[in-house]
Structure 1
């Protein structure tokens, strides 16, 4: 069952009423996405932002095959495993001729409440590693973590 869309000034949101379990696979996830795209009366939109789980599986393919995706923002963490998944995702988007607008590095580190020092326990610059994929570099548009919410704007 779908809820929404929920409307606030300048924003329309839709969501599946019951969150899918993390391990939800194949047809159920695809049907849920199809419901969200086809059964919600979105009206005239400038943008539709779809928050996807990590990876290059059924959910991502369903979106790429069924929506006119014109751009993506990829989110990663600094760990090498996550960066590898991000690289594969960027390559997959390229195969579907989808422009990757940028990479956001999440969980970049934390600021210790005792000493005030910044610690990057998950590695450093994984987003920078992930953006060096394909034929042209992808800009890293943000890195997020306590004490380090930073973004870069295109001019």
Structure 2
């Protein structure tokens, strides 16, 4: 569905004043989308990164110390995300940085990642697009009734109240 992000990002780049952020879980897709944005002359306005590379760039940009790496990449990445969450909560890293955030592979995002990213959307534009397919996943994130989309206020069809 990367074409959807491409069209949406192209439109938003024309009407928005702040940058647009596209986040992916995997490096291959992020690289492909970055190439599309560059080909369309949007790379100055549209930032495409994997979630973890975006977290890293946020910590570097706002001079927030990284957690220590003790040899376990999963622990390091988890610590980096938690450090960024605390930095946003403590206003070391500003929220509302982007006029729009587009998330591909939302099914591979953890709930706390989505909660963090939602804070990056400028409340004036309130533009968030999450592509989410509960039938696929490249990670081993356990699925449950407390899925990542619940963070965004969505409930499974059987739980909807009319």
Pair in the same fold by TM > 0.5: no
Structure with bigger gyration radius: 1
TM-score (norm 2): 0.33
Relative contact order: is structure 1 or structure 2 higher (C-alpha 8 Å, sep ≥ 6)? 2
TM-score (norm 1): 0.34
Q: Quick check: which one's strand share is greater? A: 1
